[in-house]
Amino acid sequence: MIERQEIKTLLQDPPVNTRVTIMGWVRAWRGNRFMVINDGSGPETLQVVVDGERFDEETIRAIGFHACVGVTGTLAESQGAGQAVEVIAEEITIFGENDLSRYPLQPKKQSMEFLRDNAQFRMRTNTFSSVFRVRHGVAYAVNKYFHDRGYYYLHTPIITGNDAEGAGEMFRVSVLDPTNPPRTADGKIDYNQDFFGKATNLTVSGQLQAEIGAMALGKVYTFGPTFRAENSNTSRHLAEFWMIEPEIAFADIENDMDLAEDFVKYLINYCLEHYAADLQFLDERIQELEKNMKATDRRPMGLIDTLRFVVENDFARITYTEALDILLQSKTYKKGKFEFDLSWGTDLQAEHERYLVEKHFQRPVIVRDYPKDIKAFYMRQNDDGKTVAAMDVLFPYIGEVIGGSQREEREDRLRQRMAEMNVHADELEWYLQLRTFGGCPHAGFGLGFERIVQFITGMGNIRDVIPFPRAPRLAQF
Ligand code: 4AD
Ligand code: MG
């Protein structure tokens, strides 16, 4: 049996002058006497004093950067600055040597692209281990938030026959090629050649199935992988990302917005409370990165201050029409500095969303009541005949983190909208039946899990907050 103490626990209340055993990876050497160990339990490291009289030089040389070792020794108050305690090594076990001349990573600053290509080791760096601990914390907080409030976690399918968003951005699972399907001798599509006997794809959203849950369990949420074959070559898009989708019966767009704001604030608060050391490290990392930037390119507040600001202040709430007025009256628009043009009916681009959030309101913004033609078929039509009860939550640096809506519960309206938008009712007969039989007003939203993790960790690229990113030409591991 292997016995050891975890560094995070040891440092909480250090049992000075006792014998301890720690195991982990060498983060750095200070000279050839002090070895700095991290075991992944937290961002904390423990310094090990390696006495040259006790250990021969060859042993010490074999323990390079990121080598894996076990150390037994006395935990003592540290003589040096920078740490309260250190381990005076008595025994060292080398679990895994690390020959730096062949190891892909080196003990120096390395680019994010390079680390992405070496994802088998990038989690050993300070930045990535902090990011993935925080990611875990956000996932835990998601489940805790809903569980504590009486929601049920519903597992919705990954392989499905429908396109929930109607945007045609699905990855095909079925062998059936919709543009050139196999045919029988009499010219009909030969479904026998397919495992499912129909065209299937990876899910773009669990919403439609979550609505089934809400119409029986009242309050449900999904939290699973979703897939989009859209152009995801940006710093906020992935081809495979995780989405959290609550769906609630007896709720309208107001309930939906209140839930969204309360929920994201809870997630941020949870991390501030439980991942303070990781956030502190990430905060300092950003300050370091911004040192050489022009003042105008720097973020106005540090990471932790930004997170605190978001939880302590109300989100701004405006309609799409109001948002458009603000944008059209802005100096940026008047000087022709937006890349994409704007008029009533066009979708807001990331640059517009960021203007509203970062320049105009300087806080998160919820935009509601979008033109119906730029939104999905299932959203409830407003009485003006032009807009739907949709809402997007926009965050600084990220843009849209949440998209949601009140759902169209009136069957005739929904059928009509599906026809107008060329959404085939035959695939969604079951969905329509939720209206025919025992339906009610209901609403929900989708939070992009990686986008909120990106915001909380302050990472610049969404590919660096998911362990194994999937994007165009990026599918290693
Ligand atoms: O706005 P979207 O497309 O909404 C839906 O899918 C609804 N069915 C949700 C619902 O009402 N239940 O996506 C929801 C969120 C976006 O706000 C964004 O944060 C994230 O999912 N998202 C992506 N994240 C990373 N990469 C992508 N390619 C994403 N596409 C959407
Ligand atoms: Mg959206």
Confidence band for 197, pLDDT divided at 50, 70 and 90: confident
pLDDT value of position 1: 96
Instruction: Give the DSSP letter of residue 416.
Output: H
Atom 1 in ligand 1: residue holding the nearest Cα? 403
Tokens of 24: 């982990």
Mean pLDDT value of segment 104-120: 92
pTM of the model as a whole? 0.95
Residue 178 has pLDDT above 80, yes or no: no
More confident residue, 202 or 176: 202
Angle between helices 253-274 and 449-457 (to 10 degrees): 40
Contact 205, 404 (CB under 8 A): no
Spacing, Cα 143 to ligand 1 middle (Å): 19
Residue 192 has pLDDT above 90, yes or no: no
Spacing, Cα 296 to ligand 1 middle (Å): 30
Mean pLDDT value of segment 257-262: 98
Mean pLDDT value of segment 157-171: 89
pLDDT digits (tens, 9 = 90+) for 430-452: 999 999 999 999 999 999 999 99
Give the pocket of ligand 1 (CB within 6 Å): 164-165, 205, 207, 228, 230, 232, 237-238, 241, 243, 245, 400-405, 444-446, 448, 450-451
Atom 27 in ligand 1: residue holding the nearest Cα? 237
Ligand 1 atom nearest to CA at 392:
17
Rg (CA), the chain: 27
DSSP 212-275: HHHHHHSEEEEEEEEE--S---STT--SEEEEEEEEEES--HHHHHHHHHHHHHHHHHHHHHH-
Residue 470 has pLDDT above 90, yes or no: yes
How many Å apart are CA 458 and CA 307, to the nearest integer?
10
First to last CA, the chain: 31
* Rounded percentage of the chain residues whose pLDDT exceeds 70: 100
Mean pLDDT value of segment 360-386: 97
- Asked if 7-103 and 124-169+204-464 have one fold, the answer is no
Q: What is the ipTM of this complex?
A: 0.99
Q: Where are the domains of the chain?
A: 7-103, 124-169+204-464
pLDDT value of position 369: 98
Fold of 124-169+204-464: BirA Bifunctional Protein; domain 2 (3.30.930)
pLDDT value of position 221: 98
Mean pLDDT value of segment 166-194: 82
What sign does the CA torsion over 135, 137, 143, 148 have?
negative
Mutate to test the pocket of ligand 1, among 451, 459, 461 (most ligand atoms within 8 A of CB): 451
pLDDT digits (tens, 9 = 90+) for 203-245: 999 999 999 999 999 999 999 999 999 877 899 999 999 999 9
Q: In what order do the strands lie in the sheet with 442-448?
A: 152-153, 219-227, 240-249, 442-448, 399-406, 387-395, 365-371, 316-319
Q: Please provide the CATH number assigned to the domain covering 7-103.
A: 2.40.50.140
